[in-house]
Amino acid sequence: MKTIWEEIKEGKNIDIYIAIIVGISLSILGILSVIKYEIIAAVILLVLSFLLYELLSNRRLFSEIKSSIENITSDELILKMADFPDPIIAPKLKSAREIMIVGTSLFRFLAVFQSEIENALNNGASMKIIFADPDSSAINMASFRSSSGTPVHEERQRIISTIKLLRRLSTNIPKGKIEIKSFDYISPYSILIINPSDSKEKAYCQARLFPFRETSMKAPIIIADPNSKRHWFEYFYNQFSKMWEASTIVSKDFND
Range of the domain at 114: 74-249
pTM, full prediction: 0.69
Burial 114-145 (b: 16+ CB within 10 A, else e): eebbbbbbeeebbbbbbbbbbebebbebbbeb
pLDDT of residue 12: 60
- Residue 18 belongs to a domain: yes
pLDDT of res. 47: 67
In a domain, 102, yes or no: yes
Same domain, 145 and 82: yes
Q: Are 141 and 186 in contact (CB under 8 A)?
A: yes
* Same domain membership, residue 147 and residue 60: no
Residues 175, 52 share a domain: no
* Final residue before a domain boundary, out of 55, 70, 85: 70
Run means of pLDDT, 10 residues per run, the chain, 256 residues: 57 64 68 64 69 69 63 58 84 95 92 94 96 92 86 91 93 94 93 93 92 83 87 94 95 68
Any idea what the CATH number is for the domain that residue 149 is in? 3.30.870.10
Residues 194 and 134 in one domain: yes
Residue ranges with strand state E in the chain: 79-83, 96-102, 126-132, 177-183, 189-196, 204-209, 218-223, 248-249
Domain end: 48, 70, 92, which one? 70
Do 19 and 91 fall within a single domain? no
Verify that 137 and 153 share a domain, yes or no: yes
What's the pLDDT at 15? 64
Whether 61 and 159 share a structural domain? no
The candidate with the shortest Cα–Cα distance to 192, out of 211, 210, 177, 208, is: 208
Give 153-180 pLDDT, tens digit per residue: 999 999 999 999 999 999 999 999 999 9
Q: What is residue 204's predicted lDDT score, i.e. its pLDDT?
A: 94
In a shared domain, residues 160 and 105: yes
239 vs 245: CA distance, rounded Å: 10
The count of domains in the chain is 2
- What confidence tens digit (pLDDT) does each residue in 235-250 have? 999 999 999 999 999 9
- Note the pLDDT of residue 75: 46
Give the residue from 70, 95, 121 where a domain finishes.
Answer: 70
**Shared domain check, 93 and 57:** no
Pair (54, 109) in one structural domain: no
